[in-house]
Amino acid sequence: GAVVSQHPSRVICKSGTSVKIECRSLDFQATTMFWYRQFPKQSLMLMATSNEGSKATYEQGVEKDKFLINHASLTLSTLTVTSAHPEDSSFYICSARAFQGASDTQYFGPGTRLTVL
Amino acid sequence: SQQGEEDPQALSIQEGENATMNCSYKTSINNLQWYRQNSGRGLVHLILIRSNEREKHSGRLRVTLDTSKKSSSLLITASRAADTASYFCATSGSARQLTFGSGTQLTVLP
């Protein structure tokens, strides 16, 4: 099956710093990638939809200036958490939809655990 | 916002028993999918059932879909300790985005 990677897998940072998370589709091209956030013992909540070559679409309540998304190529989307605070600590998961996909199956990355001190 | 609820929130069974999880959703869908997540890890796609299908099988998994009741169930037969994980349903509608349910934490005791 298709493979999606995320880097880093785990990051600890100080409050006020910015953190960049990469999401890569390794063996297919993805015009659309999705970013989710998951708090402990909760479900995945969609943060934004990342479209290659255009601006991301953010879900209600998600600050676009705080969570910067760049989808510069068909295999890479990045999420930058700017001026991170302890309440941003969470598990961030990306997914990618195949470039030529009739199926709605999304391929998920392994997630990035962010801890803000 | 979350599409719907899953029940039970937590389920603990003995190895060899069957596990049934239910998912309810609120809006019309194109398909419904089930995912598995081990603690602190990413999601693994288990099975997809389309809105015009009523039942689907994959190995020890059986999924049903009742669009009139806006509900789905996932049955895992002959459970194993390795099946211990969180299970999420996710619906896909016209926007082709996935909306996840609240999840069921399954514990299979050896």
Kindly write down the DSSP assignment for every residue of A18-77, as one continuous string. -EEEEEEESSS--SEEEEEEE-TTS-EEEEEEEETTS--EEPTT--TTTEEEEEEETTEE
Q: What is the pLDDT of residue B1?
A: 43
Q: Is B102 on the interface with A (CB under 8 A)?
A: yes
B45-53: average pLDDT = 94
Q: How confident is the model at residue B2 (pLDDT cuts 50, 70, 90)?
A: very low
Question: Tell me: the pLDDT tens digits for B52-91?
Answer: 999 999 999 999 999 999 999 999 999 999 999 999 999 9
Strands (E), B2-103: 5-7, 10-14, 19-24, 31-37, 43-50, 55-58, 61-66, 71-76, 85-92, 98-100
Q: What is the pLDDT of residue A30?
A: 85
Give chain A's residues under pLDDT 70.
Answer: 1, 99-105
Q: Which residues of chain A lie closer than 8 angstroms to B99, CB-CB?
A: 46
Q: What is the pLDDT of residue A102?
A: 54
**Closest by Cβ to A49, choosing from B92, B97, B102:** B97
Question: Tell me: the pLDDT tens digits for B23-38?
Answer: 999 989 999 999 999 9
Q: What is the pLDDT of residue A97?
A: 86
Q: How confident is the model at residue B3 (pLDDT cuts 50, 70, 90)?
A: low
- Which chain B residue's Cα is nearest to A42? B102
